[in-house]
Amino acid sequence: MGIEVEPSLVRRWAGWLAPARQPFFLTPQEAVNLDRTRRDLPGELRDTYEVWNVPAGLDVVWLDERAFRDLPRRARAALVRAPVEHGRGAVPAVDGWTDVVEARVLREQADGHHFVWWPSLVEARSDAVLERVVSDGHLTCRRASVPVEVWRAAAVGLPRAEALSGTFAEGSGPNCFGTVMAAAGVPDAAESWMQREPFEAWLDAHCAPGGEDDLPGTVLVWRDADLTSTHAAVTLGGGWALHKPSQSWASPRQVVGVGDLVRTAAPGVALHRYSLRGAPGRQPG
C-alpha cells in the first residue's frame, strides 16, 4: 500500500486478527454446552469480527484454539458456518488463502470451506497474511507522488495533512471525520472516534458550501438519501485527497486521487462539497 509500519504495530495487528481466545456469535440453541461467559469486546475485535453485522439476540461463545480443536469436527464445522449463516461477515474462505497456507491445513480445520485465524496459523506467515488483510479493498496510498509544492500550499489550511498521510492509527476508533478535522488542525481529532454531530458542527463553523477538487481544503462529504453523512475526505490540491476509509485498525490514512476516491464511493450516496475557510484560493467567509 506504500505505507511503512512499525514492527510493534504489526505485532498488535496479528493479535487483533488472531487473538488467543476468540468470540463465536451463536443462537442459544447453537451455543448449548459451550462457554457463554461474558467478556468485554475491545474495539479492535469489534472490527475484526464486524460485530455491527451480528443480529440481535445471539450469544457470544469464547474459545481458544485448543478448546476449538478438542471439539468433534461436526461441531467445529457448525461453529465456522454459523457466522456465515448469520451474515456477520469477515469469515475467511479456504479458497482465498491456499496460496499462503497449505490447503489441507485449512480444509481439515472445520467445514472445508471456511476457517478461523488462530495464532498458530498467523505467526508463521504473519507478513503475507497481514499484508493481504490490511490492503484488501483499499486503494494504494499515493503520498510519495504528491509534489512538494502541493504539500506546501495545502499546509496553509491543512497544517497536519502531510504528517497524517501514509500512517495507521494505533488501534480501532479513529475514522474519516476525525482525520479531516485533524488535518485542519483540530487537536486530538486524529485519534478520536469522531461522531457525526461534532463533525457536522465543525463543518458548519469552518466551511462554506461548494468547492473545487483541484484546490486544497475542499471537504468532500458523502451523504445518504436522508442527508446523513456517511464518509468524508479533504482535498490537498493538484487532484489529490486525504481520507481514512473506516474506523478499523486495518484502515490507513491514505492519499489517493480525487477521481479514484469518487469512483469507488459506496452506492446510494451523493457527494457534497464544502470549502474550508482560509485555505489557499478561497474567498473569506
pLDDT, tens digit, 9 for 90 and up, residues 78-121: 999 999 999 888 899 999 999 999 999 999 999 999 999 999 99
Q: Which of 67, 100, 135 is the last residue of a domain?
A: 135
Is residue 212 scored above 80 in pLDDT? yes
Task: Give the 3-state secondary structure of residue 12.
Answer: helix
Confidence of residue 57 (pLDDT cuts 50, 70, 90): confident
* pLDDT level of residue 284 (50, 70, 90 thresholds): very low
Residue 144 confidence (pLDDT): 94
Would 284 be classed as within a structural domain? no
Q: How far apart are CA 120 and CA 13, in angstroms?
A: 15
Same domain, 104 and 155: no
Better pLDDT: 279 or 218: 218
pLDDT of 31:
85
Answer yes or no: is 76 within a domain.
Answer: yes
Is residue 41 predicted with pLDDT exceeding 90?
Answer: no
In a domain, 282, yes or no: no
Tell me, yes or no, whether 264 and 154 share the same domain: yes
Expressed as residue numbers, the domain containing 249 is 143-276
Q: Examine the domain organization and report whether 242 and 130 are in the same domain.
A: no
Number of separate domains in the chain: 2
Q: Which of 106, 135, 164 is the last residue of a domain?
A: 135
pLDDT value at position 285? 43
131 and 147 co-located in one domain? no
Q: What is the pLDDT of residues 60-77, one digit of tens each?
A: 899 999 999 999 999 999
231 inside domain: yes
| Domain-located, residue 158 | yes
From the list 251, 69, 44, 87, the residue with the least C-alpha distance to 164 is 251
For position 193, which CATH number holds? 3.90.1720
Question: Does 269 lie in the same domain as 149?
Answer: yes
Better-scored residue on pLDDT, 40 or 150: 150
Query: Does residue 283 lie within any of the structural domains?
Result: no
Q: The sheet that has 270-276: what strands, in order across it? A: 167-168, 252-257, 240-243, 229-237, 216-223, 270-276, 207-209
Q: Is residue 1 part of a domain?
A: no
The answer to whether residue 53 scores a pLDDT higher than 60 is yes
Read off φ and ψ for residue 275, nearest 5 degrees: -100, 125
Q: From CA 125, how far away is CA 26, in angstroms rounded? A: 30
Q: Which position has the higher pLDDT, 211 or 279?
A: 211
* Residues 130 and 152 both lie in one domain: no
My answer on whether 149 and 253 are in the same domain is yes
How much of the chain, in percent, has pLDDT values that exceed 70? 96
Phi, psi of 91 (to 5 degrees): -100, 115
- 83 found inside a domain: yes
- Tell me, yes or no, whether 96 and 185 share the same domain: no
Q: Which three cell numbers stand for residue 95?
A: 479458497
**Which of 116, 135, 154 corresponds to the end of one domain?**
135
